[in-house]
Structure 1
């Protein structure tokens, strides 16, 4: 596995560093080059830098649990999807945004940054605060910055921040023949089961 994929994680503790506009531009270029269904490119982003009005308005839409840490991020982004164009409704728009955000997150790792994606925000408040058109749907808020000291977090979040990263083994998520029949043995995720 590539070290950039292995190194991607979603911290809640962010350093007080800033992310320069030219660095953020690289992250958003990476997002722009993501694949999408029929090359529809449905991903759209709102950008707020810590201390500016846009950041404050995005921050205000976050649920309280996310407000407890996200204000320290250098940048808050809202990832949105355009749901229609001149041809009509666009298919698989969230999939396209997901690919774009993953590109952004991996590019962040390459640049020594981190991106934490959040679903805990008020989509209608984003729509109202930024005059988002009806055919555009807010999907995710992303905090971007340099990972900081977990000691800066409240105790409950500090504990979560320092837990080891875990993923379900392939034996529980990849199937063959019928749903539920693992394509990989539990002992070795590298060798397919051939029954």
Structure 2
């Protein structure tokens, strides 16, 4: 199922086609080569002063890392994310040998977006989740204090909406994508004065 962005200007295909489905094909494979490409894309994201704060835990369906990450997700996310071909946890490093890493969260966000766009290029989908237990991740993977688990990411092959089961979840999966209009988010000559 495609849900291209309804935009007021032409977008690059990678951006226009990217969305966050929950309906994943439990037989769809995410290869190590594809994961390498996603993580290379993340690695080349911009960061403040080239501090590169992004780190990732990576598990493929069936391996121990996948099982441990899945166990840290909320029940609601576990209900669909178990079908993913891979589960990752994006972690931001907040301190390095030079001290505090400025804008670490922003740098991790840019890396996550690069990863999501590379997934589109690979014919995959991603869904980023706040619904996970960061302290459980820290304990399960011996994450040091200066590294903060920030978001879990399901990577997979898109499936049919019906795999989600309940009607409300299926309807949500099929719903039109919505965003604020440009006149609600881009201002000029003062706050609230639309640029477009």
> Which residue among 17, 22, 27 is the counterpart of 1:12?
22
> Which residue among 107, 116, 124 is the counterpart of 1:113?
124
Partner of 1:182: 194
> Which residue among 162, 170, 183 is the counterpart of 2:182?
170
1:154 positional shift: 2.4
Q: Which aligned runs of 4 or more in structure 1 are off by greater than 4 angstroms?
A: none
Post-superposition CA distance 1:66-96 (Å, at most 9, x none)? 1110000000000001111111000100110
Whether 1:151 and 2:167 are equivalent positions in the alignment is: no
In structure 1, distance between residues paired with 2:45 and 2:67: 28
Post-superposition CA distance 1:8-38 (Å, at most 9, x none)? 0001011121111011101100000000000
In structure 2, distance between residues paired with 1:100 and 1:24: 14
**SS in structure 1 opposite 2:128?**
strand
Number of equivalent positions: 184
> Which residue among 83, 87, 90 is the counterpart of 1:79?
90
Bigger radius of gyration among the two: 1
In structure 2, distance between residues paired with 1:150 and 1:9: 14
Post-superposition CA distance 1:102-154 (Å, at most 9, x none)? 01100110111001000011110100111100000000000001111111002
**SS in structure 1 opposite 2:37?**
helix
1:166 positional shift: 1.1
Unaligned residue ranges in structure 1 (runs of 5+): 185-195
Unaligned residue ranges in structure 2 (runs of 5+): 1-10
Partner of 2:113: 102
1:181 positional shift: 1.2
- Superposed CA RMSD in Å reads 0.7
**SS in structure 1 opposite 2:162?**
helix
Whether 1:41 and 2:52 are equivalent positions in the alignment is: yes
**What TM-score, normalized by structure 2, do the two folds share?**
0.92
In structure 2, distance between residues paired with 1:82 and 1:100: 13
In structure 2, distance between residues paired with 1:111 and 1:22: 10
